Amino acid sequence: MPELSERTKANMDVVLEETCRQLPHGGDHDSRKFIAERLIEAAQAGHSTLGELGIVARRALAEILAKRGE
């Protein structure tokens, strides 16, 4: 597993917080974990910009909402 740069980690944190704001109360633990895991996978695959990570996070959020029927 490649070490992620501090910049990538910061981008992941920003994207996670921005995405979870769309969930009630900032998202529950399981939702935040699901999105974070997707972000980690994307970052390890070389996707490290805010734009790339934002797309991944929005897709994960859409999956969560679809499962809930929202």
pLDDT category at 68 given cuts 50, 70, 90 is confident
List pLDDT tens digits, range 2-37.
689 999 999 999 999 999 999 999 999 999 999 999
pLDDT one-digit tens code per residue, 44-67 = 999 999 999 999 999 999 999 999
Q: Could you tell me the CA-to-CA distances from 58 to 1, 3, 6, 21, 39 in Å, in that order?
A: 24, 24, 22, 12, 10
Residue 40 confidence (pLDDT) above 70? yes
Domain ranges of the chain: 6-68
3 state SS of 5: coil
pTM: 0.92
**43: pLDDT strictly greater than 70:** yes
